[in-house]
Amino acid sequence: AEEVHAVIIVGAGMSGISAANKLSKAGIENILILEATNRIGGRIQKTNFAGLSVEIGASWVEGVGGPRLNPIWDMVNRLKLTTFYSNYDNISSNAYKQKGGLYEKSEAQKAFYAAQELSELIKNVSKYLKAHRQDDISILASQRLKNQVPSTPLDMAIDYIAYDYEFSEPPRVTSLKNSIPLHTFSKFGEDAYFVADSKGYESVVYFVAKQFLTTNESGEITDPRLLLNKVVNEISYSKNGVTVQTEDGSVYRAEYIMVSASIGVLQSGLINFKPDLPPWKILAMYQFDMAVYTKIFLKFPDKFWPTGNGTEFFFYAHEKRGYYTIWQQLEEEYPGANVLLVTVTDDESRRIEQQPDSDTKAEIMGVLRAMFGMNISEATDILVPRWWSDKFYRGSYSNWPIGVSRLEYDRIRAPVGRVYFTGEHTSEYFNGYVHGAYLAGVDSAKMLIRCVKHGDCCYSIPPKGS
């Protein structure tokens, strides 16, 4: 029990597994991965819903078709996972009014064009702020600057689809400089593919894991270096090493530790650091946002919505911004299953997590009746994931809020002595995404490898404003 590992990795999501893989390949093989839940994959998770395999966490590979190959897209193709190109081109034909009925196509199209023009204008504001080294502003402030704050139900819904549906927080909160344009789209491409495969999107995590963890003949991971159901609740660190305690009373020792738990978990105090992390670290960590994105699946006895080309995405324009706005009919993904997906975020997510699913279903049926008429059939099944209430996640993914500079962001990633950090929230350019988690794991591992193998344990943060 007195074994001293080279590195302990906290968490077996994409970033922890990616870091461990990189360390192993560099010859640092005496590692130990401690994962709180009974599985690997973290926020990439499939579940059974009315006999179908659905993704309650990440579902898209975002950033496809651009100048560089997204490493996750590469894995998804090697694994031959079934994916569907998400086509939003025709969404203006699928805009439902609050009291029912579709908007005239011309009216909705006009609103989309205006939103598109506004998004070009604010992109230029962002470029201007960067070029002139001006402070950051919110996306909303940049819209205000152009005298165009979306405020009708239709304009708000289109605005919600453009920003909240991506960042899970409203434009009032989200940083303009760090979100527009987004590295994911400019580096990897504008396209997004929806994964719907019974093998699960989490196969990409297994794909990386099996590059370094031993498996049995059936392909199950049996490597003793991965321990599940191990909730880390204390990390003691000094210049000589680290000691980790788990909720079940076990103690593990290592030369170094790498923590991959979400920024929401770090903010929650689930893991007690001894001594406390330094103020520069704490202040940076608590300024970043853990956003909430909730994918609600519903199953019906029959279909009362349009199917076929150009119908996959539709939306509901309500006076309350973000009230069951964005819908997806999954006829192509799950033929004949009569499944709809509606997505909510932020305050609506937190509200819905705290009420019984029967209340949520009643609200949703109200919205659907407004859209499709009073005679539609009642949903037979509903699935409401609760990422925010889950103490091992505390939300869905990080969002870059106004007020956090590059300096503070780099401090979130920076090691503290022998304590290293990874996770999507530490990705240099792609926070919030699966590829961000993967690349963050690689980068954090490289940092640790430099330290272990070359004695270069110095991490310098560029000065503020650079």
Of 27-66, binders to ligand FAD (CB under 6 A) are 34-37, 42-44, 57-60, 62
The answer to the question of residue 321 lying near ligand FAD (CB under 6 A) is: no
- The answer to whether 94 and 102 have CB atoms below 8 angstroms apart is yes
- The answer to whether 263 and 425 have CB atoms below 8 angstroms apart is yes
Which lies closer to ligand FAD via its Cβ, residue 35 or residue 155? 35
The answer to the question of residue 244 lying near ligand FAD (CB under 6 A) is: no
Side chain identity at residue 454, one-letter code: H
Upper half-sphere CA count for residue 228 (Cβ side, 13 Å): 10
Which lies closer to ligand FAD via its Cβ, residue 13 or residue 150? 13
In the complex, what is the shortest distance from the CB of residue 19 to ligand FAD, in angstroms, rounded to a whole number? 9
Candidate list 433, 448, 449, 452; residue touching ligand FAD; CB under 6 A = 433
The answer to the question of residue 444 lying near ligand FAD (CB under 6 A) is: no
3 catalytic? Reply is no
The answer to the question of residue 150 lying near ligand FAD (CB under 6 A) is: no
- The answer to whether 31 and 225 have CB atoms below 8 angstroms apart is yes
The answer to the question of residue 153 lying near ligand FAD (CB under 6 A) is: no
Of 264-283, binders to ligand FAD (CB under 6 A) are 265, 270-271
Q: How far apart are CA 398 and CA 30, in angstroms?
A: 31
Closest C-alpha to 58, from 36, 75, 33, 35: 75
The answer to the question of residue 11 lying near ligand FAD (CB under 6 A) is: yes
Using only C-alpha atoms, what is the Rg of the chain?
A: 23
Which lies closer to ligand FAD via its Cβ, residue 265 or residue 284? 265
In the complex, what is the shortest distance from the CB of residue 376 to ligand FAD, in angstroms, rounded to a whole number? 27
> Which of 35, 55, 62, 353 is an active site residue?
62
Residue 33 in tokens: 């991965």
Pairing of strands 226-227, 339-345: unpaired
In the complex, what is the shortest distance from the CB of residue 260 to ligand FAD, in angstroms, rounded to a whole number? 5
The answer to the question of residue 166 lying near ligand FAD (CB under 6 A) is: no
Q: How far apart are CA 237 and CA 255, in angstroms?
A: 9
Helices 14-25 and 434-454: crossing angle, nearest 10°? Answer: 30
Residue 121 in tokens: 């204008």
The residue assigned the tokens 């405020």 is 151
The site for ligand FAD (CB under 6 A) is made up of 10-16, 34-37, 42-44, 57-60, 62, 231-232, 260-262, 265, 270-271, 293, 295, 387, 392-393, 396-397, 423-424, 432-434, 436-437
Q: Which residues are catalytic?
A: 62
